[in-house]
Amino acid sequence: MISVLTLGSENFILYNYSLNAIREEMDILSEQDKGFHPLRNYREYTQEDMIQRASLFFESLKGRRSVRSFSDRTIPMEVIENCIKTASTAPSGANRQPWHFVAVFDGEVKKKIREAAEEGEREFYRKQAEQAWGKALKHLGTNASKPFLETAPCLIAIFAQPYSLSPEGEKIPHYYVTQSVGIAAGMLITAVHNAGLVSLTYTPSDPRFLNELLGRPSYEQPFMILVTGYPDEEARVPVISKKSLEEISTFI
Ligand code: IYR
């Protein structure tokens, strides 16, 4: 107060004004802007470049196919690490990141996964063969045999977390879990393709065995296994087509 009184009246008003402005600014900062920083790393392209980039990206992704025959050639672990890091950049409900990825390179563990998966598949194909679901799969040529689970160098098991647990054991709710993990899985598939590898989204018919085999808590839900590696030299893929833009979209 004393120091304020020693200021001339004009200066006092200015001083007071700037103090209030700073206080106000700090209030706004703490209420709205706390934990925000400017958008970084955004890069705008010219419309011409944008058009070309979108077209080239489509051309690249159009070439992706699900592959069921893998080479046993090894792949660098670093590539998988970066692909998982790419998936981890996915948006998620309330940014809770409700996923866990287990990258399996170990031959013994892959063998166990294959055995357990094939057991579930034998049951599935026995029950579904003549049902609608079984018939819908006929053109893919799938059956209960899953050799790729052992041949492929890497199986990335993706788990969805309906919630997580705090260190005190309290449940932390997760939101839009299926959407979030689906987006992350899509980005993982894209990253693997971009690295020059192929993948298969394999969904075991009865996937619960994965929790115990891979040491994941029982509340996590096995989402899919992304079988990853090089294609077998003789790999063949089914003749399929994708729906046209007109069929899948409406522009208003
Ligand atoms: N999980 C089984 C069945 C299967 C189901 C769907 I939907 C597919 O697109 C392909 C297969 C299997 O992998 O054989």
DSSP string, 171-232: EEE-BSHHHHHHHHHHHHHHHHHHTT-EEEEE--SSTTHHHHHTT--TTSEEEEEEEEEPBP
Which of 95-104, 127-136, 181-190 shows the lowest mean pLDDT across its residues? 127-136
> How far apart, in whole angstroms, are the C-alpha atoms of residue 108 and residue 31?
53
Is the minimum distance from the CB of 121 to ligand 1 under 6 angstroms? yes
pLDDT number for residue 19: 45
Helix (H, G, I), strand (E, B) or coil at 103: strand
Residues 6+ apart with CB under 8 A from 113: 104, 149, 155, 157, 209, 210, 213, 225
**Res 117 pLDDT > 90:** yes
> How far apart, in whole angstroms, are the C-alpha atoms of residue 114 and residue 93?
33
pLDDT number for residue 130: 87
Mutate which of 205, 208, 226 for ligand 1 pocket (most atoms within 8 A of beta carbon) = 205
Is the minimum distance from the CB of 137 to ligand 1 under 6 angstroms? yes
pLDDT number for residue 45: 98
pLDDT number for residue 31: 60
Is the minimum distance from the CB of 203 to ligand 1 under 6 angstroms? yes
**pLDDT of 146-173, one tens digit each?**
999 999 999 999 999 999 999 999 999 9
Domain extents for the chain?
2-33, 66-248
Q: How many Cβ atoms are within 10 Å of 227's Cβ, its own excluded?
A: 25
Mutate which of 118, 128, 142 for ligand 1 pocket (most atoms within 8 A of beta carbon) = 142
> How far apart, in whole angstroms, are the C-alpha atoms of residue 222 and residue 250?
34
**Residue 184 CA to ligand 1 centre (angstroms):** 20
Residue with the larger pLDDT of the pair 28 and 4: 28
Q: pLDDT grade, residue 21 (50/70/90)?
A: low
Q: What is the CA radius of gyration of the chain?
A: 26
Q: pLDDT grade, residue 4 (50/70/90)?
A: very low
pTM confidence score: 0.88
Is the minimum distance from the CB of 205 to ligand 1 under 6 angstroms? yes
Is the minimum distance from the CB of 82 to ligand 1 under 6 angstroms? no
Q: pLDDT grade, residue 199 (50/70/90)?
A: very high
pLDDT number for residue 174: 98
Q: Which CATH class is domain 66-248?
A: alpha beta
**Residue 162 CA to ligand 1 centre (angstroms):** 24
Helix (H, G, I), strand (E, B) or coil at 164: strand
pLDDT number for residue 30: 61
Is the minimum distance from the CB of 201 to ligand 1 under 6 angstroms? no
**Res 140 pLDDT > 80:** yes
Closest ligand 1 atom to residue 205 Cα is 1
Asked if residues 248 and 100 have their Cβ atoms less than 8 Å apart, the reply is no
Closest ligand 1 atom to residue 140 Cα is 10
Residues counted in the chain: 252
Asked if residues 221 and 159 have their Cβ atoms less than 8 Å apart, the reply is yes
Tell me the one-letter amino acid at 248.
Answer: I
Q: pLDDT grade, residue 28 (50/70/90)?
A: low
**Residue 79 CA to ligand 1 centre (angstroms):** 27
**Residue 137 CA to ligand 1 centre (angstroms):** 7
Q: What rounded mean pLDDT belongs to the chain? A: 91
**In the β-sheet with 221-229, what is the strand arrangement from edge to edge?**
99-104, 154-160, 221-229, 198-202
